[in-house]
Amino acid sequence: MRYFNSFVLIVSFPVILAVEHLEGTIDSNSSVSEPQSVLYAKNIIDHWERLERALDWSNIHVQVGSASHGQLLTSQPQDEALLQEKNALIAAYALRHLKDQLRITGRTPQGTPFSWSCSKKECLHSKYRPIDGSCSDSTDGFHGGAFSSYSRLLEAYYGDGLQEIRRSVHRAFLLPSARLVSTTISQNESTVYDNLTTAVAYWGRFIEHDMTFTASSVMVHSKKTIECCDNDGSNLSPRHVHPLCAPIRVPFDDYIYSKLFVRCIPYVRSIGAIRMNCTLGSLEQLNQASHFLDGSQLYGVEKTKLNLRRQFRNGLLKYSGTSKSMFLPRSTNPIIDCQYLTQNGTCYISGDSRVNELPLLTLLHTLWLREHNRIAAALHGINNHWNDEELFQETRRIVIALLQHITYNEWLPVILNQSQMDKVNSPPSQSELDPRTSNSFATAAIKFVNSLIDDSVRTYSRNRTLTKTYDLKDYFYKPCILEENFDGFIRGMATQNCPKLDLNYADSIRNHLYQTDSHGFDIVSLDIQRGRDHGLPTYASFRSIIGYPNVTQFSTLEDVTPMEHVTLLRKVYQSPWDIDLIIGGMSERPLPNSLLGPTFSYIIGEQMKRTKNGDRYFYTNKKQPNPFTDAQLKEIQKVTLARIFCDNGDDIVYMQPKVFMQICDSNPLVSCTGNVIPHLNLKVWKKK
């Protein structure tokens, strides 16, 4: 497989210095002036301003309450991300210009006037984990902070080697439409696991939001939203298409959209990022979350925003409702923060703007708000001499430890088999100490959880009989149902069967995602398009790095992929080397005692090993600045998600000990007040 040369993403002034050196237009005695390549790039971006004004005059923006609005909420760019957007674009276009003039593959700016920008500031390791993930890397502390680029397991694969969306290996052809791939590979034959609950799906989504947050671009000059299709689903006039648009083509015979005359699914390209290692290379994408498993979806990554949600009293977070039935603070603008058409809708605020995306995701955020405040109140009673900051930080530290423990000791063993778990827990090599989230994990592998989402959300009574069923398609970014029967939704998460991990996605997310009027979006199409946007290498490339034979024809895939899936792939892709990573990974047959096939097992296992070993503050790390005592660690390691459900419902009386598993003889309903579901004894945190 051929890969293309790589180029850099760096801020504009350092780009000028680096490019001038490479173009030979600067010497040590000259004043700084912009080289040709930077002028070329700036000229392109400057020309966008006129286009963006025209789009503004024509009101070509995301409309409040639309399906595009829901998609925007899922990839909402933060202010810090917007600071990088323009500079990254200037760098990318400047280096594309350079590509035609110079051979600079693999060059670094060391020894050039640009080298000063690669120097690192001193990293001070505080007693408590920094809110933005900085200084948390277990080696030098400079990797994994929020608003930094994803890492890569394989070199990026773009159409031009720099930033253009990938094309077919038959260079004259485009790749098949992401929507065509979606409708071809899905057979709409939904089945469920008889031993797993839907908690598996939603915990997966919950930790995905902890470790990954990809932002969509906005207009470079005005910072207003970009819309890539007309509101009715038709294609925009070419003069109204923003350069950062990559809309998904809808086939004329699409079994859903053709009836609605929809020809276009909007997709806005992700915001670019500055390379962490300060080398010359192709376009990278920005992760707005910290790269660590550190509760950033609960606490956020910006201190000023976290402060708005703190009570600054006894370590507590703000809440709505009552002290006995807490809910997240309510948004004052639900029209913007959710998809309501009036200000009366129930919409919540948490550390992550995606909190309202799915009702059961909102439920998990609420449970952990309650857990934080429950622990803070208990610690205040045990250590009444601690001030608010000590109570808050110690509580946050315990909450993050519980999140990590549940993920690695309950959830991952359901996803991966014992062999893969042994690799996750084995001693790390030096390369396995980089905690950064890989682009292939964030953009493809962890997206397997979408296949586990059901069309319905159900509530259950205390004796686990079904009480009510809600259609998921009616509640994207509309968490208004949560307060109707909070305990019923908790029991539902621990009772409802989990759909099987396969190519058959729920209709709600494959045809009605974020729908508010005539049509919604397709999550599979969006995931495919995002992989192409991010320059993810093909499925065949990833197969090769884990030791499977090099792909020469479609039949090669049958060693790990069922023949019926290979037939579908052959039907839609011209070459086996065109297969998108997310589709190839989802097509594989699962490994024994695993939900995942070999490729996604490798990517997820590899990521979770680095996430654990690359984290200076990981809860089991005795070398962190403020390690847990042996007694404290023992208490943390007793806790399960069942205990979180028991302690933080309004009146949860019974729960099975393993909530990712269905109730059975070996996993029966037991009393929450007994010892079968262990309690966290906070008395071991008592300080004199």
- DSSP code per residue over 148-206: EE-B-SS----SSSSSSPP--SSTTSPPPPHHHHHHHH------EEEEEETHHHHHHHH
C-alpha span between 235 and 262 (Å, rounded): 9
pLDDT tens string 285-319: 999 999 999 999 999 999 999 999 999 999 999 99
Which stretches does DSSP call E strand in 343-478?
Answer: 456-460, 466-471
- CATH placement of domain 184-213+293-685: 1.10.640.10
- 469: Cα separation from own chain's centroid: 28
pLDDT class of 376 with cuts at 50, 70, 90:
very high
Report pLDDT for 35: 66
The active-site residue out of 21, 69, 97, 209 is 209
- 570: Cα separation from own chain's centroid: 30
Report pLDDT for 121: 60
C-alpha span between 457 and 627 (Å, rounded): 40
Evaluate if pTM is beyond 0.85. yes
Q: Could you tell me the sign of the dihedral formed by the alpha carbons of 302, 307, 309, 312, in that order?
A: positive
How confident is the model over 571-597, as a mean pLDDT?
97
* pLDDT exceeds cutoff 60 at 519: yes
264-265 and 670-671 strand pairing: unpaired
C-alpha span between 605 and 493 (Å, rounded): 25
Report pLDDT for 160: 87
Report yes or no: 255 and 188 within 8 Å, Cβ to Cβ: no
* pLDDT exceeds cutoff 90 at 77: yes
Report yes or no: 569 and 553 within 8 Å, Cβ to Cβ: no
Report pLDDT for 102: 54
Report yes or no: 590 and 597 within 8 Å, Cβ to Cβ: yes
Domain residue ranges in the chain? 34-106+217-287, 184-213+293-685
**Burial of residue 77, with CB atoms counted within 10 A of its CB: 0-12 exposed, 13-18 middle, 19 or more buried:** buried
R_g (Cα) of the chain, nearest Å:
25
Report yes or no: 281 and 333 within 8 Å, Cβ to Cβ: no
pLDDT tens string 466-516: 999 999 999 999 999 999 999 999 999 999 999 999 999 999 999 999 998
C-alpha span between 317 and 310 (Å, rounded): 4
* pLDDT exceeds cutoff 70 at 104: no
Question: Helices 359-382 and 641-648, interaxial angle, to 10°?
Answer: 80
Average pLDDT, the chain: 90
How confident is the model over 20-32, as a mean pLDDT?
44
pLDDT tens string 159-188: 988 899 999 998 778 899 999 999 999 876
Report yes or no: 25 and 75 within 8 Å, Cβ to Cβ: no
Q: What is the DSSP string of 547-573?
A: TPPPP-SGGGGGGTS-HHHHHHHHHH-
Closest-CA residue to 109 (of 198, 10, 194) = 10
pLDDT class of 542 with cuts at 50, 70, 90:
very high
Look up residue 413 and give its two tokens.
Answer: 């063993």
How confident is the model over 200-208, as a mean pLDDT?
98
How confident is the model over 572-576, as a mean pLDDT?
96
Report yes or no: 153 and 147 within 8 Å, Cβ to Cβ: no
Report yes or no: 395 and 374 within 8 Å, Cβ to Cβ: no
C-alpha span between 26 and 109 (Å, rounded): 14
Report pLDDT for 491: 98
**Burial of residue 311, with CB atoms counted within 10 A of its CB: 0-12 exposed, 13-18 middle, 19 or more buried:** middle
C-alpha span between 376 and 401 (Å, rounded): 15
* pLDDT exceeds cutoff 80 at 636: yes
Residues in the chain, how many? 688
More confident site: 161 or 554: 554
C-alpha span between 553 and 570 (Å, rounded): 10
Report pLDDT for 13: 39
The neighbour count for residue 49, using CB atoms within 10 Å, is 13
Report pLDDT for 86: 82
Report pLDDT for 26: 39
Report yes or no: 315 and 379 within 8 Å, Cβ to Cβ: yes
Report pLDDT for 11: 37
| 3-class SS of residue 215 | coil
Report yes or no: 473 and 341 within 8 Å, Cβ to Cβ: no
pLDDT tens string 271-280: 998 777 656 6
Look up residue 155 and give its two tokens.
Answer: 């070199």
pLDDT class of 403 with cuts at 50, 70, 90:
very high
* pLDDT exceeds cutoff 80 at 29: no
C-alpha span between 442 and 424 (Å, rounded): 18
Q: Is 291 a catalytic residue?
A: no
Report pLDDT for 186: 85
- The dihedral region occupied by 547, where left means phi > 0, alpha psi between -120 and 50, and beta the remainder, is left
pLDDT class of 107 with cuts at 50, 70, 90:
very low
Report yes or no: 359 and 327 within 8 Å, Cβ to Cβ: no
Report pLDDT for 24: 47
pLDDT class of 141 with cuts at 50, 70, 90:
confident
* pLDDT exceeds cutoff 80 at 521: yes
- 116: Cα separation from own chain's centroid: 33
More confident site: 9 or 638: 638
- 108: Cα separation from own chain's centroid: 30
How confident is the model over 47-67, as a mean pLDDT?
92
C-alpha span between 207 and 86 (Å, rounded): 30
Closest-CA residue to 402 (of 210, 674, 604) = 210
Lowest-confidence region among 101-105, 304-308, 385-389: 101-105
Report yes or no: 597 and 591 within 8 Å, Cβ to Cβ: yes
108, 625, 647 from 94: Cα distances, Å: 16, 43, 56
pLDDT class of 4 with cuts at 50, 70, 90:
very low
Q: φ, ψ for residue 436 (rounded to 5)?
A: -60, 145
Look up residue 246 and give its two tokens.
Answer: 């990559």
